Structure formats: structure tokens, C-alpha cells
Chain A
């Protein structure tokens, strides 16, 4: 059964996904983990594959990208192994360094 998710990208990570901050997607996986979601994003919605490494690294997100599942930091959940349900909102925030 596919899983419907809302993906949010901000802090600059939206530039990697067609400069669009919100994506309503349907994953062809039942109860995917965040790790599976990241791989799916890499394959399906990262538009500029020359710059994949600005988002993905070693099967996870690159250092400096915060991941929230339903507005909760994934560090408080199971990180890559967090299981996603239909309707969940997953947020990717690149950290900024501008001052």
C-alpha cells in the first residue's frame, strides 16, 4: 500500500528539488523508513544530480540538514529508522550560515 507524505524543504534545500518548498508525494512503499524516503527523494525528486551530495551522503542526509517528522526532530525518534505513516509531514531544513 503506498504511503502519502507531505515533504517540506527549506533553508536552501528547496533549490535541489525544483525550487519548490512543499511536495505532496506518494511512496510506493508500505510504512517506509526515513532512510527509504531519502533514497526515494534522491531518485525521484532531486533535480540536479550534480548536486546530490548537497542533500544526501552515505545513505542519509548530509551533515547540516535537520530532519523533522511531524515537527519532531528525528534525533528524538529513530533517525533513519523512523517509520513513516500515511499523512506524515517530513521536513528537511538546511542550516544557514549567513549573518
Chain B
């Protein structure tokens, strides 16, 4: 049978200020306790714990380690001192009077102020067959020592015994104090954040700050997915990546910028639907920081199938957009708002679908598992390589062929927008942006192109897509001149980017 009882104790601790943290110090503690017995008939021995002297040392943690005075076989009990503490002893003597920690010792943090006084409510378990095992606190569940009062300046801290949430460590509290003090966030917010697992898809302009701020705030687990490598033109906005890691995987680079206390999992492949299902199931929230429609639809569908909220961000030029999809009972998904992908030529019709009709989360969904999103959107997830192949090989020249051709008089048409032309261009290039090429009257365009010069016309752009369209356009509009003057209109494969790569590394790549 156990008797559960509660009493009040005062602990006074006097200490000699530590001249040096590494040197031992002497502490003196008084522990006085008053207790009323529930059943005074059981109270056969009344004892008092008098003043006790004991020493301490500073251990590696910079904590004072105080030996519990109650580790003695028989407690120091003297009848002559004021009867302040009454302990019940049956057959078993009081053997131990544990401190807070499992090692039976009090842990007192270093303090600099003199003579702090603690008031504490103590809980004792007293039993016939059981010795007093614990010297616990007000928390009846864990039987541990908890101080009632916030001690403010009082520096005596008993480790793990301050009513702190079990899920937050002392280090957590110290690190996250500024947001714990925001009462709408507080301990509960921190706890939930620490328990949360967030998958960030895309380690670029959006993914970098998203991952870094989540990590800074103390998210529990961070997943980072990106197949790409860091390039120099990422650095101006993808601020987690450092100059030294250009050419390395973005996931690894971003991971290096993440605070060391956060668990990070990285995924460095081009994600397909099935993989993403497998990865995302271990996360609570998915952050879409990707840069393409195919990935956006894929993440949406996966989040619908797995019933997870999707936080979707996007940014271009001067604008940014942020939306939370698939949140709560009736929150819409991405497909509810955008049933059709943006690539217009693949869109079959424009039925006015509301949320009820959504193909993935509606009342009668037609999509039950991830699909091929590149086919669905008509565009890929990798945006780097030119994919257009419009012209015959004999209508195209390589950069090296052009570097030879330009030694003779040629006409070089540069179809890039004016602001790109202003970055850098070949000296012979004449800038006729695509828009002008389409809109100008024949007579003006002929003048700009200089077709009367009867030299071959070469067309260049940034990466070699627009230049092909331009070649076709010029050929169609000036068919008769081309035939009668006998010159050719050719596209420079790979554009300035390839020029910079293969011919002149001084040409800036952007």
C-alpha cells in the first residue's frame, strides 16, 4: 500500500561566489519541510531534517552537482531541531531521497546572485513496503520535483524539472526564446513546429528561403528535393547557395546552409509521381517551390491522394504568388482552380469546372493515381536545354561554322529582346527582337535585315530556339528575294550560350 502525501519545504542555499568556474565551490543548503500526515496514527516517528552541509563541484556541463543528503542509509535526523519535517517510516527505513535526476543528485545551474531561496511544493510517496523513492514535485504524474514559483532571477534550476514541456529541451528554449515569447506562437507553436515534417520541393529562389526559415524557426524534419546543380546565375537570389558550391547539387548545397540542429533529408532526382508519393507520405506539409507547371500538378495530385496540405509559391520578375491548397475539409486543390494546364495548344476544351467537378478531388474524380505530368502539361520539368528542332540540318550552322563564316561579310540578326541584347552581343549583330520581326512591315524589315547586301543571313538568339522560328519567318516573308539573290538564311545552333561555351569563353553566359 502506498500513501501519497504532499508537503511544503523551504530550501535555502547559500553559496560562496565562484571565483572561477573550474574550481570547486562549497554550498550550504538548508532543507526544511513541513508535512501533515493524512493519518496521524501511522505516524510513529517524527523526524526533522536539519541543516546539511555538503560540497559540490562544477562538472563538464557547468552544473553544480550536489550530492543528495538522502543517500545516507539513515537520514540525518535529530529530535532536537525544530520539528519541521515529518516523515513516515514503517518497516522500511527511508533509504533514499532522490533528487531530480536518475543519478540521485540535484543539478543546480551555476548562479551568480547570492543566497537564492526556493520555495517548493514537494511530493513524497510513502509506503509500507516501499521506501521513499522520490522527492518529486507538484506534478503528480511524473513524481518529479517541480517548483511552483517562477523564480525569475533565482538561478537554481533543476534540469528537466521546471514544468517545461517534455518535447522542448533547454537548448530549444534558449534558441527559440524570441518566438516562444510571441504568445500566439508560444510553447505550443514551437512544439508543433518541432513535430512537423515539411517537404520543400525545389531548392531555388523560393526553396532556399523557405528551407532556411523553416530550419531557423525549428521545424522538426526538413525534406529538400531538387535534381539541379548550383549555377552562377542562381547566386543572386538563391541565397543559401555559396560561391564555392557552384556546380554541386543544390540539395547538398542548401543542406550545408541549414542549421545543424535540424534533421534534413535530401532527394536529388527528377521526381515522378510514384516516387513523390513515396517520399511525401513521410511528411506533414508539402511546400511547392518548383518552377514548372508539370511539377505543380504532380505535387497537387500527390497531396490530394495523401491528404496533405500543399503550400504553393511562385515568383516571376516583380511579382510573387502564394496559395495554400488542399487544406482542411473543403479547401480547393490546384486543379480546382486550374483544371487545365497553361500550355494552351494541349488544352482540349474550357468547360467551366468548379470544385465539385475537379478531376482529382471532386465528387467523381477521374484521376486516382499520379499521371504523366510532362505529357499532361506539354512541358517538361527541366528548363535548361533547347528542345526546339524546327529546321533541317542544312538550314543550321554550328557556332564554329559561324566563327569561320563571319570572316567574310555576313548579316547577323540577333532576335533577343532589347534588354538582353544590351547585356552583350557580337559586334556585327543587328538587334531585331522577335516581336519586331513579327510586327514590322516588309519594307521596314527588309531594310533592317539588309537583304539587298546579298550576303548570307545568320540568325542568333540566347539558346537557339527563337532563332529557328525567325529563320522560318524570314524565309517565308522574303522567299522571292532569297531565291533571286541566291543567299541563305541560317540559324546558329545553340545561340550565344553555345558561342560562349565553345568559341569564346570571354562572352558572358547568363
Interface of A toward B, CB cutoff 8 Å:
10-12, 48, 50, 53-54, 57-58, 60, 62-64, 66, 75, 79-80, 93, 95-99
In the complex formed, the residue of A with least CB distance to B341 is A63
Q: In the bound complex, do residue B438 and residue A50 qualify as a contact, i.e. CB atoms below 8 Å apart?
A: yes
Q: In the bound complex, do residue B206 and residue A11 qualify as a contact, i.e. CB atoms below 8 Å apart?
A: no
CA distance A12 to B318 in the complex (A): 10
CA distance A87 to B349 in the complex (A): 33
Q: In the bound complex, do residue A95 and residue B350 qualify as a contact, i.e. CB atoms below 8 Å apart?
A: no
Contact for A75 among B206, B292, B354, CB less than 8 A: B354
Q: In the bound complex, do residue B340 and residue A99 qualify as a contact, i.e. CB atoms below 8 Å apart?
A: no
Q: In the bound complex, do residue A11 and residue B316 qualify as a contact, i.e. CB atoms below 8 Å apart?
A: yes
B339 is an interface residue with CB less than 8 A from chain A: yes
B202 is an interface residue with CB less than 8 A from chain A: yes
17 pairs from A and B in contact (CB 8 Å cutoff):
A11-B316, A57-B347, A63-B338, A63-B342, A64-B341, A66-B337, A75-B354, A79-B352, A95-B314, A96-B316, A96-B320, A97-B290, A97-B292, A98-B291, A98-B316, A99-B291, A99-B292
Q: In the bound complex, do residue B354 and residue A11 qualify as a contact, i.e. CB atoms below 8 Å apart?
A: no
Q: A97-B290, A98-B316 are in contact. List 14 more A-B contacts (CB 8 A).
A: A48-B439, A54-B344, A60-B352, A62-B344, A64-B340, A64-B341, A95-B342, A96-B316, A96-B320, A99-B204, A99-B206, A99-B207, A99-B314, A99-B315
Residues of B near A99 (CB, < 8 A) are: 202, 204-207, 288-292, 313-315
CA distance A66 to B207 in the complex (A): 24
B321 is an interface residue with CB less than 8 A from chain A: yes
List CB contacts (< 8 Å) of B183-229 with chain A: 202, 204-207
Contact for A98 among B314, B339, B349, B350, CB less than 8 A: B314
Residues of B near A54 (CB, < 8 A) are: 344
CA distance A44 to B435 in the complex (A): 19
List CB contacts (< 8 Å) of B224-273 with chain A: none
Contact for B315 among A75, A79, A93, A98, CB less than 8 A: A98
Q: In the bound complex, do residue A12 and residue B438 qualify as a contact, i.e. CB atoms below 8 Å apart?
A: no
Q: What 6 A-B pairs are tightest by C-beta distance, nearest first?
A: A99-B291, A63-B340, A98-B316, A96-B314, A64-B342, A96-B316
Contact for B293 among A48, A66, A93, A97, CB less than 8 A: A97
Q: In the bound complex, do residue A12 and residue B316 qualify as a contact, i.e. CB atoms below 8 Å apart?
A: yes
List CB contacts (< 8 Å) of B328-349 with chain A: 337-342, 344, 347, 349
Residues of B near A60 (CB, < 8 A) are: 350, 352
Q: In the bound complex, do residue A96 and residue B435 qualify as a contact, i.e. CB atoms below 8 Å apart?
A: no
Given contacts A58-B350, A63-B338, A66-B337, contact A48 B435 (CB under 8 A): yes
CA distance A97 to B324 in the complex (A): 15
Residues of B near A12 (CB, < 8 A) are: 316-317, 319
In the complex formed, the residue of B with least CB distance to A59 is B350
Given contacts A97-B291, A99-B314, contact A58 B349 (CB under 8 A): yes
Q: In the bound complex, do residue A97 and residue B320 qualify as a contact, i.e. CB atoms below 8 Å apart?
A: no
Residues of B near A79 (CB, < 8 A) are: 352
List CB contacts (< 8 Å) of B7-26 with chain A: none
CA distance A20 to B352 in the complex (A): 29
In the complex formed, the residue of B with least CB distance to A48 is B435
Residues of A near B347 (CB, < 8 A) are: 57, 63
Nearest CB of B to A16, in Å: 12
B416 is an interface residue with CB less than 8 A from chain A: no
